[in-house]
Chains A and B, each alone.
Chain A
């Protein structure tokens, strides 16, 4: 089954489960013009001078990876990969192609900021092999964009999507953020409607989250308004309604796609498939091991340049640990997870049965599904407490 098969719904269980057999890789590009106040990713601002060294290092690291079969998907995220320049991005794609090869029709995604997007860049990326662009649009309200500390305005998003479309990108996503303090339900409605209006193939809607250690978290600690979870719930439900009406299918907590356009790279992660990872702060899962790279760019460069794998740590995932992970990531999908020991333990627990009675989960046709995606973590805590200890 191919994901580009236009008859397959993005939330189909067959698609969700078969993604486990795909091979993918993630490349992290940490460079940003400035760091957004809510962001806690492994990013760096004002160090564009390191870009060439970084490109070299990533290419080197790709060369260190154990051989694998041809990849079905590659995802270049950040950071702001669109700042990295088409030349360096092309080197990265070439390195991956050289090390593993890319399958016919492979999905190759780039995260891009609207303000970086030009026809020239789009053409060059298509030539380099990119097939999918994911825009950090966040909102179509200039007020919200300003308060999120973004560098673009709503018209930049409209223009960027139009350019990508015109230049021939096969799949276009926009990321949206809801629940920014001060944003009304009507402003959010306008944002979702604008995304629908642009006729993009994929929409991700993320609740603004106050992450520890960010400027946003410090501001909230000092009395700035925090996102209101009830309003966020209203906004989420509104988005779900508008997107469904426009033909988008929710296939994960925060992700909607039209048939033929779910993100394969992410489907693999959620199916507990294996993925390579390159770059600072990147996380991968191969040969039954989860690993993570050092977070700081300088440490990453130093390790790779001295011929060392830039690992910060790794763990073997097996037995109950693997089963727990399968449920953790799998239950975020609309398709849920197929029966297994974890599902059995969950349904055997008092708390699990209560969630079933409350209609928060359902168990139909050999699958456990979360019916109310906004309560997924409540379900997963029960998963944790109902399965035997891993050690």
Chain B
């Protein structure tokens, strides 16, 4: 188990390479295990050891989740006396990032399925495990945290075996914290994960499975060579974009970048071409040589499809350009974030942004606010509706105010998802109630092990993005887990509910909802707004309406008293200061027609978790 020094010019034979990922739920200890592997193989000294080396983004470290895939090369001398190169390709754990998971998995031959020995299998883990099985990966099942008093390895091993179709005895027992079982794991990786089997003599084909933007070096690609080999300095072509560049630098990640002369078949490393435009290099693309290159790219990827949309507006109109700049910078490292300018009468200039899911949305917002110091208002998340007009056009509607006039709509279809919910059997009733109230249709229900049930639902995505996960968690005391994947569009009886302040529609509060829920939605919005909008100098009616029909109404009664009782000689200066302060407060108001609405009212009214 000594660290092997690889001479830069030497290419490791495929038989000595193992490429693998770790699939795990948030908090099931993946990062800790990865650190332990780094330590055991000497890739990083204990002195250098920062906890969870691979989670490098601040937000990841703070939330204990992995957002961007990371990769590291481990040199390992196995019990058979041979030296192996183990490439660990880290995967994000959350459902929103299944696209990133799938491209990480495509770079591997095997996957470690890591499950918390106390908590058991979670829905996301299940979904990712299925992805790995479908991709033909060899799965090594393992339980982590067996040192915890709450660990129940027998029960959980049974669950895991049930999920992937093996024997409970094959499930490895680990404690990433104490290091127990780590040596055995390394041996299992060597023995169970198949070596790569690319054709060394074929033209180069390497998969770009991730990239990030470095302000000095430009786009840095993470690649997995499948066939042929790549030499430093070679002219390469990105097959999807036909962009040709020189391979200025190639090398391995140990996890530090170590330049190498070449990358052979089966090897994993990085490629820097000096490309500054992130759009020119698509994750999922195939790299080949410019001369005598491959004609067929590797099986590609679908472009990540944004599923959840939200308008993001700066609180201060002056920050619009800063927001644009911040989004541009974020996009450099997050190809799945899409955005276009949007104008709201109520909120001013901002952007309509598309996200992979709710967590993705939340992370982007948080990064914008934290890393770029912006103060933002986000509208309620919505989905992309497919609208067929009476003249036969099909439109994708991502924002309620893009919905055509009802008279011109022949049909509205909404995106559905297949939702997999995994929970202890005792919560099945309450989960079914919830799913039903969200227009869900159950497809199947199966026991996983003896105590837990997997429920398979068809649900409108719009219902899922609206606090479904929070509800699920609170109804099951946090025991349920959820994963979902798109499952097509279905026509539905949907209407646009507008909210009017003093007779004027406020675009930020419009929403597309199911007709049966329109009244509830309208009532809730007007009630909430009545609490949030301060009294004005006149009565302000707040109405919810479908088309011209009012479905709910509240009134903010006019302010009647707004004067200091006394103002004599001594009070003149004091009063002026007081009014100055109040005037400042007024600047934080947005004018909606003639109604002053505090910024916080937008934020509060649009919160879904109430």
Contact = CB atoms under 8 A, between A and B. Distances in A.
Is this pair of chains taken from one and the same complex? yes
A22 B223 CA distance: 89
Contacts of B567: 253, 328-329, 332
B565 interface: yes
Interface string B70-108: 000000000000000000000000000000000000000
Given A354-B594, A358-B538, A381-B586, A266 B568 contact: yes
A220 to B, nearest CB: 16
Interface in B556-610: 559-573, 575-576, 579-580, 582-583, 586, 594
A324 B576 contact: yes
A377 interface: yes
Interface in A362-391: 373-378, 380-381, 384-385
Contacts of A325: 572, 576
B15 interface: no
Contact of A375 (B537, B575, B582): B537
B576 A285 contact: no
Given A206-B566, A329-B567, A374 B576 contact: no
Contacts of B538: 358
Contacts of A378: 537, 559, 562
B563 A374 contact: yes
B596 to A, nearest CB: 10
Interface stretch (A63-71, A239-247, A276-284): A276-284
Interface in B335-386: none
B570 A236 contact: no
Interface string A189-224: 000000000000000001111000000000000000
A233 B561 contact: yes
A285 B569 contact: yes
A375 B570 CA distance: 21
B561 A328 contact: no
Interface residues of B, number: 25
Contacts of A277: 569-570
Contacts of B573: 283, 290, 292, 315
Contacts of A360: 537
A275 B537 contact: no
A207 B561 contact: yes
B537 A358 contact: yes
A118 B560 CA distance: 41
Q: Which of B579, B582, B583, B586 has the most CB of A within 10 A?
A: B579
A34 B586 CA distance: 39
Contact of A230 (B561, B563, B570, B571): B561
Q: Which of A281, A358, A378 has the most CB of B within 10 A?
A: A378
A284 B569 contact: yes
Contacts of A381: 579, 582-583, 586
A360 B580 CA distance: 21
Given A207-B561, A236-B561, A385-B586, A283 B576 contact: no
Contact of B572 (A233, A329, A373): A329
A207 B576 contact: no
B572 A328 contact: yes
Interface string A4-41: 00000000000000000000001000000000000000
Nearest to A374: B561
B322 to A, nearest CB: 26
Contacts of B572: 269, 283, 285, 290, 325, 328-329
Given A229-B561, A232-B561, A328-B572, A380 B566 contact: no
8 pairs of A and B residues whose beta carbons are closest in the complex? A233-B560, A283-B570, A206-B565, A376-B563, A229-B561, A207-B565, A233-B561, A378-B562
17 contacts: A229-B559, A253-B565, A269-B569, A282-B569, A282-B570, A283-B569, A283-B573, A290-B572, A315-B573, A324-B576, A328-B572, A329-B572, A358-B537, A374-B560, A376-B562, A378-B537, A381-B583
Interface of A: 26, 206-209, 229-230, 232-233, 236, 253-254, 266, 269, 275, 277, 281-285, 290, 292, 315, 324-325, 328-329, 332, 354-355, 358, 360, 373-378, 380-381, 384-385
Interface of B: 537-538, 559-573, 575-576, 579-580, 582-583, 586, 594
